[in-house]
Amino acid sequence: MATATAIDDVITGIVSTLTAAVDYSVFDGPPTTLPDRSQTKFVVIGAEAPLETGEDAPPVDAADMSQVWKGLGAKKREEEIRINCVAVGKTSTIAAARGLATGVINDVATHLGLNPGTLDTWNALVSDVVNTRSLNVPGGAVVQMQFVITVRANLS
């Protein structure tokens, strides 16, 4: 049976790889509850904004994809997947929180790369930082950096 898209395998693989590699929370999609205040950083894979939680939270853009045939008459397709993500840093100042969020993005970039999967192979990179949101809160600051992971997957 042909695979229509690699989105599920890729997101699951990225979340699994990061969870094993880092010592902070890695969420697959928007978290149902936010980490407690003692956690200074976390990452959400597959969401453009992580801070709205619960039943009444609006849906968020998680990912999109496009495919092309690979060669004339070929039965292989090349898929490009764009996964929205958010790195969050929380600490005493905006500058320090931004440094934590940037560190999370660096961790993600370090642990991506070439990843064999059930589909053949796929490779991924942090391709864009879309925006950086900063907020002073009682007792400190929070910075959210929305970024995009771009993945190329080969499908049969």
Domains of the chain: 7-52+59-155 (3.30.2000.10)
Here the tokens at position 77 are 């397709």
Mean pLDDT score, 83-105: 96
pLDDT computed for residue 119 by the predictor: 46
Angle between helix 94-110 and helix 7-21 axes, rounded to 10 deg: 120
Which pLDDT does position 146 carry in this prediction? 95
d(CA 101, CA 11): 20
Position 20 pLDDT exceeds 80: yes
Give the Cα separation of 50 and 64 in Å (integer): 18
For residue range 81-92, list pLDDT tens digits in order: 999 999 999 999
At a CB cut-off of 8 Å and minimum separation 6, what does 150 contact?
Answer: 80, 81, 82, 83, 124, 125, 127, 128
- Mean pLDDT over 127-144 rounds to 93
Q: Which residues pair with 69 in a beta bridge?
A: 77
Is the pLDDT at 135 greater than 70? The verdict is yes
Give the phi and the psi of residue 18 in degrees, each rounded to 5: -65, -40
Q: Using alpha carbons only, how large is the chain's radius of gyration in Å?
A: 17
Q: Is the pLDDT of residue 123 over 70?
A: yes
58 falls in which pLDDT band (50, 70, 90)? Answer: confident
Cα 28 to its chain centre, rounded Å, is 8
Phi, psi of 99 (to 5 degrees): -60, -40
What distance in Å separates the CA atoms of residue 46 and residue 83, rounded to the nearest whole number?
Answer: 6
Q: In the chain, what percentage of residues exceed pLDDT 70?
A: 89
141/100 Cα distance (integer angstroms): 11
The predicted model gives 46-62 an average pLDDT of: 76
d(CA 28, CA 131): 20
**What confidence tier does 10 reach under pLDDT thresholds 50, 70, 90?**
confident
Query: Could you tell me the two tokens for 150?
Result: 């771009």
